[in-house]
Every structure is written in C-alpha cells, then in structure tokens.
Structure 1
Amino acid sequence: MADKKKGRPRIIPPSEIEEWIEKYGDNTYLPRGILCTQTLIENEIIEEEHEFACYLLFKSIESRIHSCRYSQGIYEGVFCEWDVPLNGVMDIIRHKPEMWQGWIEQTRIFLENDQQQKYRPTIDRIETDPNIGYRLDNIQLLSFRENTQRAVNKPVYAFEMGKNQSNVIPTFRRYDSITDAKKDLGLPKLENDTGVFTNTQDGKTFILQSSATTVGDQSVELDSNESEQKVYTGYIPIGQIEIDGQLYTINQPFTFEQMQIKLKNEA
C-alpha cells in the first residue's frame, strides 16, 4: 500500500454519498466505509467495480468488532481478532482470496435481486466457541439465507414470552427441527437464533433458539448492520401493592433489541 499522507483524514463530502445513493439505492451509507473502498481502489488493491462488495465487507467486520469490543449482549465474551475494520478487510483480501472472490459474487447476486436481505453476504464463524471467535482462520462467507438455514434440521426451543412480554419465567417447548416448530406454531416464516420476538396470529409471542444456544454453547448472532433492528419492551416485577383488597404486581419496564435465554442445570 502506498504511504499514507500526513495530516487530517479526508472527509467524504455529501456529493459522494449522493453518488452512492444513485448507484446502490437509498440507504444510510457510512462515510468511513466509503473511504475504505476509495483507499483500496486508489492503492490498486481492489477494482473499482468491486467497491460495493468491499463496502459490505467493511460494514460486516466493523459490526463484529464493535459488538465484541463492547460485549453487546449476545456478543459478550466473543473474541475478535481485529481492532480496525480496514485490517480485517485487508486480511481477507490478501490471505483468503477465495472468500473475497465469493464475497464479490454474492454481492453481485445481492444486487441483481434488488438487495433482498436473504442474498446479502455475511461473515459466519466456523466454530462457535466464543474463545475462538472471529479469527481469520475461523470465518467463512455465507449468504444471510444460508446462515439462517444452518440450524433448520437441528433441535430448537420455542419460549413463549406471553402478551406484552410480562412473563418473568417463560414457558417453553422443544421441537426436533425448526420445520416442526413452524408447523405447530402456524408460521410460514420463522427464524431461530436471531434474538428477536416472533408473533403468532393468535397473539402469542415466542423466541426461537437452537439447542446449542439455549444451553449456552453458542451465542445468538444478529448483525445490527445487516438486518433492520426493532426495539422491544419487557417487564420485571419489582413488588406488589394491594388496592381495595385486590393484589397487583408492580412491573419495571425495560427495552432491548435482542434476547438470549439460557437453561441451566441446577443439579
């Protein structure tokens, strides 16, 4: 790579972001991600035609770094080899060329299919041990759909959270596969290990988790940059009060984007 120029880092002007919107659609584009792609193009590390693939790779790596560094809920204790997203991008391009070429191809498929989420390239851990985490030799490319389908034929747990998420200890049931869970719950679309709520037509609310996630062997993973996040409200009982002879429970509300439920063996 050519020597970096001294002085203040270059700022991406709004006009360049507008160019990205014209080429790749209306979205919130990260100036630092665009700057990364421009730097690699200027230094002839990637071709200009691969700028969007590079941008998506930057966002995915940055998200992993951020989530692991700050132990954001489900990422607590998960190791990440990189501190700087550019370093992760460069390691993949230089040392995992097959993954980089696959990323380019999956980005092309993503664009050709109107950027449907299921076609988006994602970074996936080969081994889910949090101590191994996100290392260069433990990551692979999967489309978002492939990442989801990995657990289709594995046991899953359906935790019923109750209306308004007010149950402190949710009831649960085990299914041999997510296909069985979909059939029993009456949901045409159902994903496990996302850490978000699924609502049934009869008003019930569930969280679906794989067996490995439920016993704590792996963490729920959802890249906040790869899927639209929703904020949910839950309630924790903090006391009781009696009014006119009727006992009422006092609940403390809290908000969250993802949740992981772990079953512990108390024996």
Structure 2
Amino acid sequence: MTPSYEELRVPVTGGELAVLRWPADSPGAPVVVALHGITANALSWGAVAGALAGRATLIAPDLRGRAGSAGLPGPYGITAHADDVAALAGALGRDRVVLAGHSMGAFVATLAAVRHPDRFGELVLVDGGFGFPAPTHLSADELMTAVIGPAMDRLSMTFTDRDAYRSFWQAHPAFAGDAWSPEVDAYIQRDLTGEEPALRSGCRLEAVRTDGVDLFRAEVLAAVRRLPGPATLLWAERGLMNEEQGLYDAARLTAAGRPDTKVTAVRVDDVNHYTVLTGEKGAGLVADALLRAAPPS
C-alpha cells in the first residue's frame, strides 16, 4: 500500500510549484527528489514511495504545466524545469540530494545536475536521459507526433466521468492485465481537471509541445555526458505501448555514447516504459537504486 503524503507549495519563478512529500520514518533518512515524465504527474512515483517503505523521504513535484502546477506560466522547456528543481532542492535545506527522473524527467535530472552541481548528488535515471538528434526532415509537430503521438492526442480529449478516463487508460497496452493497481489509478486520476461531463487532462498542451521539442536540443542531449557525478540508468525491456523493442537496448545506448559517460546501465526485464516505474517489480528496483545512491546518514 502506498504511504500517505502531504502536498506542499514551493516558490519558483512565476509562482509556486506543487510538490508531494512522502516522509521517511527517521529524520536522518536520505532525501530523494523524483521527476515525472512529459504528460505525467507526481503520483507516477506512488509505487516507488510504497517500495521505499519509509526508508527515505520522497519528494515529487508536478512539473510546470502539469496537474497541481498547471497554473505556472511559461517559458517552459527542460531548462525551466531544471531550474525549478534546483529551487525545490534549495527549499529542502539539504545538501546534494539524490535526484531521480523517469522518461522526460530523466533529461530534466541530467540538465539540473549539470547546471546546479552543488544541489544534487548521485542520479537515478529511469528509462530516459539518453537521447538522439532529431531527424532534420521532420517539422516540430511531426517530431512530436512521432515521439508521443498517442499522449498528445489524449490532451485534446474530453471524458464524461472518472470511470471513462479509467477505462481509457485500462485499455492502454502498457497497463494490460495485472499492471493496473491502486497507485496507477491515483496517478492517472490526478491528471484530470474540469467538470463532468467534460473532464480533460490538466497538462497544458503548450508546455508538453515545448518540452517535447526541447528534448532534442543539443544542450539537453549533451547533459548526460557532462554529469559531475555517477548515475544509474534502469532501462525497460519493452516500449511505451508494451512493444518488444524498448526505448533502449545495448546497441542504442552505445550509439548514444553511454560507454563514455559516468552512467551505469541496468536492463530491467519483463517491464515496459510505464511499469518500470509503476509496477511492483520496477518500483522495487527503482527504490533499491535510490537507496544505494543515497549518501550515508
């Protein structure tokens, strides 16, 4: 069962960032800051919070333009998120916290560590952080469609009630069978805004579009090769739609320059891009990696 959390507001440029905090059982326990993916929210880390079982304090923000932080204005982009995360780390009053990120959040984590090396310690990247240059023949819209087309479509849809939204997600190949859980349900429900019968995703389309294109910017792609300290990448065997080919494999990571970085790559079998974070097996392995990355109390 996911432990209870509290919701906080942290000042950043332009307003306040919504932040969820799962406290540790001990005041001397390590602190981890965890960042979600491009159309996700802080509760995507709920299963990891449960797997940590009070051994660390987990801090997860709704990134600018999402869920509780949807009201924060632009400019958006990976740099804006990285600076927001540095402001959050400063507000915690702890030195060199462990920084984790899933999918787009992993790219934010690497850039934050490069831009603010005194704020963060070891990194844990979950199916993200290594990218590839954008094909030059694609426009920005075509690029976004190629990368996260189904997710972009969802941002323009409306749903009659919360059960309809739940059914939409339960039909997603990544959440088939026993991949659905109370933690996944809470995560997807946090995304909704508006009133019935016209509920919709709270993600701001402008933020998602800007962030998605920004993932291919040279500074963002290079960040993982400029990390000031060590990092661990847990990469999922399967992809976003539970397809056999995941975002990464050994050859792709080599092509992205992983051997020339400070990143140790670990394959996680029998999970996809989502369940590497939200499933019982994936969440447990992520939690273990976070605790290994944490400095001694």
Please identify which structure carries the higher helix content: 2
Instruction: With the length of structure 1 as denominator, give the TM-score of the two structures.
Output: 0.24
Could you say which structure has the greater relative contact order, defined with CA pairs below 8 angstroms and 6 or more residues apart? 2
Q: Which has the larger radius of gyration?
A: 1
